[in-house]
Structure 1
Amino acid sequence: MDIMIRPVQPDEYKTLGEITAQTYLEDGLLDFGENDPYLGELRDVAKRAAAAEVLVAVDGGRVIGGVTFVPDGGPMADLAGPGEAEIRMLVVARAARGRGVGEALVRTCVDRARATPGCEGIALSTQRMMHSAHRIYERLGFARAPERDWNPVPHLDDIDLLSYTLAF
Protein backbone atom coordinates (compact mmCIF):
# COMPACT_ATOMS: atom_id res chain seq x y z
CA MET A 1 0.00 0.00 0.00
CA ASP A 2 1.48 3.34 -1.07
CA ILE A 3 -0.91 5.41 1.01
CA MET A 4 0.61 8.33 2.90
CA ILE A 5 -1.06 9.68 6.05
CA ARG A 6 -0.22 13.30 6.83
CA PRO A 7 -1.79 16.55 8.08
CA VAL A 8 -4.28 18.10 5.69
CA GLN A 9 -3.08 21.11 3.69
CA PRO A 10 -5.32 24.20 3.32
CA ASP A 11 -5.68 23.62 -0.43
CA GLU A 12 -7.15 20.18 0.41
CA TYR A 13 -9.87 21.41 2.78
CA LYS A 14 -12.56 21.53 0.12
CA THR A 15 -11.68 18.10 -1.27
CA LEU A 16 -11.72 16.44 2.15
CA GLY A 17 -14.92 18.29 3.06
CA GLU A 18 -16.64 16.89 -0.01
CA ILE A 19 -15.31 13.37 0.60
CA THR A 20 -16.63 13.59 4.16
CA ALA A 21 -20.03 14.94 3.14
CA GLN A 22 -20.44 12.47 0.27
CA THR A 23 -19.43 9.53 2.45
CA TYR A 24 -22.05 10.41 5.06
CA LEU A 25 -24.68 10.97 2.35
CA GLU A 26 -23.88 7.83 0.29
CA ASP A 27 -23.72 5.63 3.37
CA GLY A 28 -27.10 6.90 4.64
CA LEU A 29 -25.63 8.36 7.83
CA LEU A 30 -27.61 11.63 7.77
CA ASP A 31 -31.25 11.61 8.81
CA PHE A 32 -32.19 14.52 6.57
CA GLY A 33 -30.01 13.78 3.53
CA GLU A 34 -28.99 16.88 1.58
CA ASN A 35 -30.99 19.01 4.04
CA ASP A 36 -29.18 17.74 7.12
CA PRO A 37 -27.70 20.63 9.13
CA TYR A 38 -24.67 18.47 10.00
CA LEU A 39 -23.51 18.62 6.35
CA GLY A 40 -22.07 22.08 7.00
CA GLU A 41 -19.94 20.70 9.83
CA LEU A 42 -18.78 17.81 7.69
CA ARG A 43 -17.67 20.15 4.91
CA ASP A 44 -15.97 22.69 7.22
CA VAL A 45 -12.48 21.20 7.33
CA ALA A 46 -10.92 24.61 8.01
CA LYS A 47 -12.90 24.85 11.26
CA ARG A 48 -11.81 21.35 12.30
CA ALA A 49 -8.18 22.01 11.39
CA ALA A 50 -8.18 25.16 13.54
CA ALA A 51 -9.41 23.22 16.59
CA ALA A 52 -7.84 19.75 16.17
CA GLU A 53 -5.53 17.73 13.93
CA VAL A 54 -7.04 16.75 10.61
CA LEU A 55 -5.18 13.97 8.86
CA VAL A 56 -5.58 12.83 5.28
CA ALA A 57 -4.80 9.65 3.42
CA VAL A 58 -3.15 10.46 0.11
CA ASP A 59 -2.56 8.11 -2.81
CA GLY A 60 -0.61 9.42 -5.78
CA GLY A 61 -1.11 13.00 -4.64
CA ARG A 62 -4.88 12.53 -4.35
CA VAL A 63 -6.80 12.78 -1.06
CA ILE A 64 -8.80 9.57 -0.57
CA GLY A 65 -9.78 9.79 3.09
CA GLY A 66 -9.38 11.62 6.35
CA VAL A 67 -9.94 11.72 10.07
CA THR A 68 -10.06 14.34 12.81
CA PHE A 69 -7.79 13.61 15.77
CA VAL A 70 -8.48 15.54 18.97
CA PRO A 71 -5.37 15.02 21.11
CA ASP A 72 -6.43 16.50 24.44
CA GLY A 73 -10.08 17.35 24.70
CA GLY A 74 -10.55 20.75 23.19
CA PRO A 75 -13.48 22.19 21.29
CA MET A 76 -13.78 19.29 18.83
CA ALA A 77 -14.11 16.63 21.54
CA ASP A 78 -17.57 15.17 22.02
CA LEU A 79 -16.77 12.19 24.20
CA ALA A 80 -13.16 12.27 25.44
CA GLY A 81 -12.60 12.70 29.12
CA PRO A 82 -9.48 13.88 30.94
CA GLY A 83 -6.39 12.10 29.64
CA GLU A 84 -8.14 10.86 26.51
CA ALA A 85 -7.78 11.71 22.84
CA GLU A 86 -10.73 11.40 20.46
CA ILE A 87 -11.19 10.29 16.87
CA ARG A 88 -13.92 11.91 14.78
CA MET A 89 -15.19 11.90 11.21
CA LEU A 90 -13.24 8.93 9.85
CA VAL A 91 -13.99 8.67 6.13
CA VAL A 92 -12.63 6.88 3.08
CA ALA A 93 -13.82 7.70 -0.43
CA ARG A 94 -15.96 4.88 -1.79
CA ALA A 95 -13.53 4.15 -4.65
CA ALA A 96 -10.64 3.70 -2.18
CA ARG A 97 -12.35 1.34 0.27
CA GLY A 98 -11.07 -2.15 0.96
CA ARG A 99 -7.40 -1.13 0.76
CA GLY A 100 -6.70 -0.57 4.46
CA VAL A 101 -7.01 3.22 4.29
CA GLY A 102 -9.41 3.52 7.23
CA GLU A 103 -7.25 1.26 9.37
CA ALA A 104 -4.13 3.26 8.47
CA LEU A 105 -5.88 6.48 9.52
CA VAL A 106 -6.98 4.98 12.85
CA ARG A 107 -3.52 3.48 13.49
CA THR A 108 -1.99 6.92 12.93
CA CYS A 109 -4.38 8.41 15.49
CA VAL A 110 -3.48 5.68 17.98
CA ASP A 111 0.23 6.37 17.45
CA ARG A 112 -0.34 10.12 17.92
CA ALA A 113 -2.33 9.52 21.09
CA ARG A 114 0.35 7.23 22.52
CA ALA A 115 2.92 9.96 21.80
CA THR A 116 0.83 12.65 23.54
CA PRO A 117 2.10 13.29 27.08
CA GLY A 118 -0.53 12.39 29.67
CA CYS A 119 -2.78 10.64 27.18
CA GLU A 120 -4.04 7.35 28.57
CA GLY A 121 -6.42 6.31 25.81
CA ILE A 122 -8.75 7.19 22.97
CA ALA A 123 -12.52 7.52 22.79
CA LEU A 124 -14.76 7.69 19.75
CA SER A 125 -18.40 7.66 18.73
CA THR A 126 -19.82 5.76 15.81
CA GLN A 127 -23.22 5.13 14.31
CA ARG A 128 -24.82 1.70 14.62
CA MET A 129 -24.66 1.08 10.86
CA MET A 130 -20.92 1.83 10.50
CA HIS A 131 -20.05 -1.88 10.60
CA SER A 132 -16.80 -1.58 8.61
CA ALA A 133 -15.52 1.05 11.05
CA HIS A 134 -16.54 -1.13 14.02
CA ARG A 135 -14.45 -3.98 12.60
CA ILE A 136 -11.42 -1.66 12.30
CA TYR A 137 -11.79 -0.41 15.87
CA GLU A 138 -12.20 -3.91 17.28
CA ARG A 139 -9.27 -5.27 15.26
CA LEU A 140 -7.08 -2.50 16.73
CA GLY A 141 -8.09 -3.30 20.31
CA PHE A 142 -10.89 -0.80 20.92
CA ALA A 143 -13.70 -2.06 23.14
CA ARG A 144 -17.34 -1.07 23.19
CA ALA A 145 -18.15 1.33 26.03
CA PRO A 146 -21.97 1.18 26.14
CA GLU A 147 -22.06 3.26 29.31
CA ARG A 148 -20.77 6.16 27.18
CA ASP A 149 -23.26 5.82 24.30
CA TRP A 150 -25.03 9.11 23.69
CA ASN A 151 -27.38 11.06 21.47
CA PRO A 152 -26.13 14.34 19.93
CA VAL A 153 -29.69 15.42 19.06
CA PRO A 154 -31.83 14.47 22.08
CA HIS A 155 -35.14 15.31 20.41
CA LEU A 156 -34.41 12.68 17.73
CA ASP A 157 -34.43 9.30 19.41
CA ASP A 158 -32.88 7.38 16.50
CA ILE A 159 -29.42 9.00 16.51
CA ASP A 160 -27.87 7.06 19.36
CA LEU A 161 -24.11 6.93 18.92
CA LEU A 162 -22.13 3.91 20.07
CA SER A 163 -18.94 4.55 22.00
CA TYR A 164 -15.62 2.73 21.79
CA THR A 165 -12.50 3.25 23.87
CA LEU A 166 -8.90 2.10 23.80
CA ALA A 167 -6.89 2.35 27.01
CA PHE A 168 -3.10 2.41 27.01
Structure 2
Amino acid sequence: MSEVSVRPARPEEFAAVGALTVSAYVADGLIAADDDYVRELSDAAHRAAHAELLVATDDDGLLGSVTIVRPGTHYSEIARDGELEFRMLATAPAARGRGVGELLTRTVVEKAREIGASAVVMSSLDAMKTAHRLYERLGFSRLPERDWEPLPGRWLRAFRLAL
Protein backbone atom coordinates (compact mmCIF):
# COMPACT_ATOMS: atom_id res chain seq x y z
CA MET A 1 0.00 0.00 0.00
CA SER A 2 1.20 3.48 -0.83
CA GLU A 3 1.42 6.35 1.62
CA VAL A 4 -1.77 8.29 2.37
CA SER A 5 -1.63 12.08 2.21
CA VAL A 6 -4.17 14.86 2.79
CA ARG A 7 -4.64 17.93 0.59
CA PRO A 8 -7.37 20.27 -0.65
CA ALA A 9 -9.79 18.70 -3.10
CA ARG A 10 -9.37 19.73 -6.74
CA PRO A 11 -12.32 20.82 -8.91
CA GLU A 12 -11.88 17.85 -11.23
CA GLU A 13 -12.32 15.56 -8.19
CA PHE A 14 -15.54 17.09 -6.85
CA ALA A 15 -17.88 14.53 -8.49
CA ALA A 16 -15.76 11.64 -7.22
CA VAL A 17 -15.56 13.16 -3.72
CA GLY A 18 -19.35 13.50 -3.64
CA ALA A 19 -19.81 9.90 -4.81
CA LEU A 20 -17.27 8.63 -2.26
CA THR A 21 -19.04 10.47 0.55
CA VAL A 22 -22.43 9.05 -0.41
CA SER A 23 -21.04 5.53 -0.81
CA ALA A 24 -19.46 5.65 2.66
CA TYR A 25 -22.70 6.76 4.31
CA VAL A 26 -24.79 4.22 2.38
CA ALA A 27 -22.31 1.37 3.06
CA ASP A 28 -22.58 2.05 6.79
CA GLY A 29 -26.38 2.03 6.62
CA LEU A 30 -26.51 5.65 7.81
CA ILE A 31 -28.64 6.79 4.89
CA ALA A 32 -30.53 5.17 2.04
CA ALA A 33 -29.54 5.88 -1.55
CA ASP A 34 -32.73 7.96 -1.95
CA ASP A 35 -32.34 9.95 1.29
CA ASP A 36 -32.68 13.73 0.94
CA TYR A 37 -29.22 14.12 2.48
CA VAL A 38 -27.65 12.39 -0.55
CA ARG A 39 -27.98 15.61 -2.55
CA GLU A 40 -26.00 17.58 0.05
CA LEU A 41 -23.34 14.89 0.45
CA SER A 42 -22.97 14.63 -3.34
CA ASP A 43 -22.42 18.33 -3.91
CA ALA A 44 -18.71 18.55 -3.13
CA ALA A 45 -18.36 21.58 -5.37
CA HIS A 46 -20.76 23.53 -3.16
CA ARG A 47 -18.91 22.37 -0.06
CA ALA A 48 -15.59 23.49 -1.54
CA ALA A 49 -17.07 26.91 -2.39
CA HIS A 50 -18.42 27.47 1.14
CA ALA A 51 -15.95 25.56 3.33
CA GLU A 52 -12.58 23.84 3.17
CA LEU A 53 -12.81 20.45 1.49
CA LEU A 54 -9.89 18.08 2.08
CA VAL A 55 -9.23 14.69 0.57
CA ALA A 56 -7.08 11.77 1.61
CA THR A 57 -5.33 10.13 -1.34
CA ASP A 58 -2.71 7.59 -2.24
CA ASP A 59 -1.19 6.50 -5.55
CA ASP A 60 -4.44 4.72 -6.43
CA GLY A 61 -6.73 7.72 -5.90
CA LEU A 62 -9.25 9.11 -3.41
CA LEU A 63 -9.62 7.37 -0.07
CA GLY A 64 -11.66 9.83 1.97
CA SER A 65 -12.73 13.40 2.55
CA VAL A 66 -13.75 15.88 5.21
CA THR A 67 -15.37 19.31 5.18
CA ILE A 68 -13.99 21.96 7.57
CA VAL A 69 -16.21 24.89 8.51
CA ARG A 70 -15.96 28.02 10.60
CA PRO A 71 -18.71 29.32 12.90
CA GLY A 72 -21.53 31.20 11.22
CA THR A 73 -20.73 29.92 7.72
CA HIS A 74 -23.04 27.99 5.40
CA TYR A 75 -22.18 24.49 6.63
CA SER A 76 -21.67 25.31 10.30
CA GLU A 77 -24.00 23.44 12.62
CA ILE A 78 -22.69 23.71 16.19
CA ALA A 79 -19.45 25.74 16.07
CA ARG A 80 -19.19 28.81 18.25
CA ASP A 81 -16.73 31.69 18.05
CA GLY A 82 -13.18 30.43 18.29
CA GLU A 83 -14.04 26.85 17.32
CA LEU A 84 -13.45 24.94 14.11
CA GLU A 85 -16.02 22.35 13.03
CA PHE A 86 -15.77 19.40 10.70
CA ARG A 87 -18.51 17.57 8.87
CA MET A 88 -19.12 14.82 6.38
CA LEU A 89 -16.00 12.82 7.26
CA ALA A 90 -16.04 9.82 4.93
CA THR A 91 -13.70 6.94 4.14
CA ALA A 92 -14.22 4.90 0.98
CA PRO A 93 -15.47 1.45 1.97
CA ALA A 94 -12.47 -0.18 0.23
CA ALA A 95 -10.04 2.00 2.24
CA ARG A 96 -11.40 1.15 5.69
CA GLY A 97 -8.87 0.02 8.27
CA ARG A 98 -6.01 2.11 6.82
CA GLY A 99 -6.29 5.01 9.26
CA VAL A 100 -7.83 7.39 6.72
CA GLY A 101 -10.49 8.73 9.10
CA GLU A 102 -7.92 9.26 11.81
CA LEU A 103 -5.53 11.05 9.45
CA LEU A 104 -8.31 13.37 8.24
CA THR A 105 -9.41 14.09 11.82
CA ARG A 106 -5.83 14.79 12.93
CA THR A 107 -5.44 17.14 9.96
CA VAL A 108 -8.53 19.07 11.06
CA VAL A 109 -7.08 19.36 14.57
CA GLU A 110 -3.76 20.61 13.18
CA LYS A 111 -5.56 23.23 11.06
CA ALA A 112 -7.48 24.35 14.15
CA ARG A 113 -4.22 24.78 16.05
CA GLU A 114 -2.68 26.70 13.13
CA ILE A 115 -5.51 29.27 13.15
CA GLY A 116 -5.54 29.53 16.95
CA ALA A 117 -8.93 27.90 17.49
CA SER A 118 -9.83 27.03 21.07
CA ALA A 119 -11.52 23.75 20.12
CA VAL A 120 -12.67 21.43 17.36
CA VAL A 121 -16.33 20.40 17.37
CA MET A 122 -18.47 18.05 15.32
CA SER A 123 -21.79 16.20 15.29
CA SER A 124 -22.24 12.51 14.65
CA LEU A 125 -25.21 10.19 14.25
CA ASP A 126 -25.80 7.80 17.14
CA ALA A 127 -25.15 4.87 14.81
CA MET A 128 -21.58 5.99 14.03
CA LYS A 129 -20.08 3.97 16.89
CA THR A 130 -16.75 3.29 15.14
CA ALA A 131 -16.29 7.02 14.54
CA HIS A 132 -17.20 7.76 18.17
CA ARG A 133 -14.44 5.40 19.36
CA LEU A 134 -11.97 7.20 17.09
CA TYR A 135 -12.97 10.63 18.39
CA GLU A 136 -12.75 9.50 22.02
CA ARG A 137 -9.32 7.92 21.39
CA LEU A 138 -8.15 11.26 19.95
CA GLY A 139 -9.33 13.11 23.05
CA PHE A 140 -12.76 14.37 22.01
CA SER A 141 -15.40 14.50 24.73
CA ARG A 142 -19.16 14.34 24.43
CA LEU A 143 -20.88 17.71 24.39
CA PRO A 144 -24.50 16.73 25.15
CA GLU A 145 -25.72 20.30 25.57
CA ARG A 146 -25.18 20.75 21.81
CA ASP A 147 -26.85 17.51 20.69
CA TRP A 148 -29.58 18.24 18.19
CA GLU A 149 -32.21 16.67 15.96
CA PRO A 150 -32.17 17.88 12.32
CA LEU A 151 -35.07 15.55 11.46
CA PRO A 152 -37.51 13.77 13.76
CA GLY A 153 -35.78 10.71 15.19
CA ARG A 154 -32.36 11.55 13.67
CA TRP A 155 -30.31 12.72 16.64
CA LEU A 156 -26.82 14.06 16.19
CA ARG A 157 -24.44 13.78 19.13
CA ALA A 158 -21.95 16.59 19.62
CA PHE A 159 -18.26 16.11 20.41
CA ARG A 160 -15.54 18.63 21.31
CA LEU A 161 -11.76 18.59 21.55
CA ALA A 162 -10.32 21.46 23.58
CA LEU A 163 -7.01 22.73 22.20
Distance 1:58 1:7, change over 3 A: same
1:8-157 matches, within 5 Å, as 8-30=9-31, 33-117=32-116, 119-153=117-151, 156=152
Aligned to 2:148, the other structure's residue is in SS state coil
Q: 2: CA distance between counterparts of 1:35 and 1:12?
A: 23
Structure 1: any 5+ residue segments left out of the alignment?
none
Whole-angstrom distance in 2 between the partners of 1:40 and 1:132: 24
Conservation of the 8 A alpha-carbon contact between 1:20 and 1:91: yes
Measured against aligned partners, the alpha-carbon deviations of 1:1-21 in whole angstroms (never above 9, x if no partner) come to 610100000011011100101
Q: AA paired with 2:89?
A: L
Of 148, 157, 163, the residue aligned with 1:162 is 157
- Give the percent of matched residue pairs that are identical in Structure 1 and Structure 2: 46
Q: What displacement does 1:34 show?
A: 2.2
- Structure 1 length-normalised TM: 0.93
Name structure 2 gaps, 5 residues minimum: none
Per the alignment, in what secondary structure is the counterpart of residue 21 of structure 2?
helix
Q: Which runs of 4+ in 1 moved over 2 A?
A: none
CA distance in 1, matches of 2:7, 2:106: 12
* Larger strand percent: 2
* Separation (CA, whole Å) in 2 of partners of 1:75 and 1:27: 26
Report SS of the residue matched to 2:154.
coil
Q: Tell whether the 8 Å contact from 2:7 to 2:54 is kept in structure 1 after alignment.
A: yes
Matched to 2:3, the amino acid is D
Amino acid aligned to 2:43: D
Check whether the contact 1:68–1:90 (CA below 8 A) recurs between aligned residues. yes
Report the count of equivalent residues.
162
For residues 120 and 133 of structure 1, what CA distance do their matches in structure 2 show? 22
CA distance in structure 2 between the partners assigned to 1:55 and 1:44 by the alignment: 14
**Equivalent position amino acid for 2:42 in 1:** R
Superposition deviation, residue 28 in structure 1: 1.1
